[in-house]
Each structure stands twice: as structure tokens, then as C-alpha cells.
Structure 1
Amino acid sequence: MDGTARQGNNPPAVSVCPEVLEKRADFLLAARARRQGTKGMMVQARKRSPDEPARGTRVGFTCSKKVGNAVARNRAKRRLREVARLILPEYGQAGWDYVLIGRAEVTATRPFPDLQGDLIYALKKLHQT
């Protein structure tokens, strides 16, 4: 190699993940909105009101103790974060909040392309109505 950077299918150096939900109130608002279940996850989505300050897409992640011990929950959340990073920029809509909820024994073990397909399916269904 000559020391120059290669171009190809390498991911960008800057993260393209949307803003992450952190406040409990935001999770509760999403819980009262639309939801779509898939084999790999549950997706809750809500369109923010125009008077809310945040712009763009926001996303939150949660896994209950039903998913498993701390190791299993963290693995499931890591996989959900990566799926969201890859899918939401293309299929998510600005001005929406999404909460991805891990499913017991499925989110951590489901093949990754299937998880991606699950999120795409859920987003299409949520935005149809």
C-alpha cells in the first residue's frame, strides 16, 4: 500500500445516527402514539407538534428485563442502535420520534438483515396511516 486512504464501501467517519431520546416524558409520549410490532422488535412512533424545539428525527431504545440479563439487554440495544443508524436516515421522517423496543430472546439472536427488514416494514406501516 502507498499510505493513501482507500475509498469504497467504508462507512462515513461521522455518525449519521439521529438524536437520541433521553427524557422519560418523550418515551411516554411515544408510548401513547402509533405502534407496529414485528418479529424482531416493537416500534413506537409519534409526530412531534410544531411547537417542540427539536428538529429532525429522534430515536430511543429500550429493553425490559424480559429480554434477559444485563448482557442480553445490552446486546439487543446495541443491535437496535445499529439498525436505527442504518435505516432511519432513509426511511425515517423528520419531525418524528421513534422508540425501538427489544423482544425477549429474539432481538439479540435474529439475523441482522432480518432486523433491518423488520424496521423498514414497521416504518412503512407506521407512515401509511
Structure 2
Amino acid sequence: MKISRLRVRRDFLYVAQGRKAVRSSVVIQAREGRCPPGEIRAGFTATRKIGNAVVRNRAKRRLKEAARLLLPLHGEAGNDYVFIARVTTSTRAWPRLLDDVQSALQTLARPASGDTDD
């Protein structure tokens, strides 16, 4: 499954109108994307509230690596995802950060599969 990057502000705003999952070290937004079928697009952001440029870049690097590892396993093809760093993203233990990302991705996947429970 191919993972490409969201880079245009318009795409980030589009995804912001979709579902979101909040965890202590990350917020993940998801929306059925405008990308080709079989592809996942991911964007990464960190606000100035997180810290200075060094801290923000470290947080985004950690989120990019977590997405690289977990999106092929837990992401849905055809969806766009935005990973938003939180204050604890850059300092959280790596296994706990991965747990947070995995948990959020699984939560975002549930509504699509849970709609058929009548």
C-alpha cells in the first residue's frame, strides 16, 4: 500500500472536517480522501504551543516514523490522515507513542465497519 504526503493547506482543512481520535500524545484526523484507490495520504503538523522549532521537528519526525510503521497495518486505503503533535509527543517513550497512534487508528477505523450492526 502506497503512502504519500499531504502538503497543501486545502487538504489539511478538508481532513479537519472528518473524524478525529485524541490520545495523550497525538491527535489523528481522518477523512475519506481524494486520493487514488489503494493509496493512503498522511500529513503532519505541530503548532508553536508544542515548543521551539527543534521540539516541533522532533515531534513530527517521530509521528512520521510511527505512521510509516502503522498506517499500512491499521490505516484504511483511500483515506487521508493528519497527525497533530501534542506537547508530550517529543518526550513520550517510543512504545507508548506507538500504542497511542495504533489505538487512535483503530478507533478511526471502527465507525466504517460498525455501521452494519443493526
Q: Fold-level match, TM-score > 0.5?
A: yes
**Equivalent of 1:121 in 80, 100, 103:** 103
Distance (whole Å) between structure 1 residues aligned to residue 92 and residue 48 of structure 2? 18
Higher relative helix content: 2
Task: Report the TM-score when normalising by structure 2.
Answer: 0.88
- Asked whether the 8 Å contact 2:35–2:41 carries over to 1, the reply is no
Higher relative strand content: 2
CA displacement, residues 3-55 of structure 1 (integer Å, 9 cap, x when unaligned): xxxxxxxxxxxxx871010111110011111000001100000012xxx3534
Task: Report the TM-score when normalising by structure 1.
Answer: 0.81
- Which residue of the partner structure matches residue 79 of structure 1? 62
Is the aligned partner of 1:34 residue 2:16? no
CA displacement, residues 101-120 of structure 1 (integer Å, 9 cap, x when unaligned): 0002x000001111111111
Q: What runs of 5+ residues in structure 2 fail to find an aligned partner?
A: 112-118
Q: What runs of 5+ residues in structure 1 fail to find an aligned partner?
A: 1-15
Q: Matched residue pairs, number?
A: 110
- Which residue of the partner structure matches residue 6 of structure 1? none
Secondary structure in structure 1 of the residue aligned to 2:91: coil
- Which residue of the partner structure matches residue 44 of structure 2? 61
- Asked whether the 8 Å contact 1:17–1:85 carries over to 2, the reply is no
Cα RMSD (Å): 1.3
Distance (whole Å) between structure 2 residues aligned to residue 119 and residue 53 of structure 1? 22
Evaluate the alpha carbon distance shift between residue 53 and residue 67 of structure 1 in structure 2; reply closer, same or farther with a 3 A threshold: closer
Distance (whole Å) between structure 2 residues aligned to residue 76 and residue 53 of structure 1? 26
- Structure showing greater radius of gyration is 1
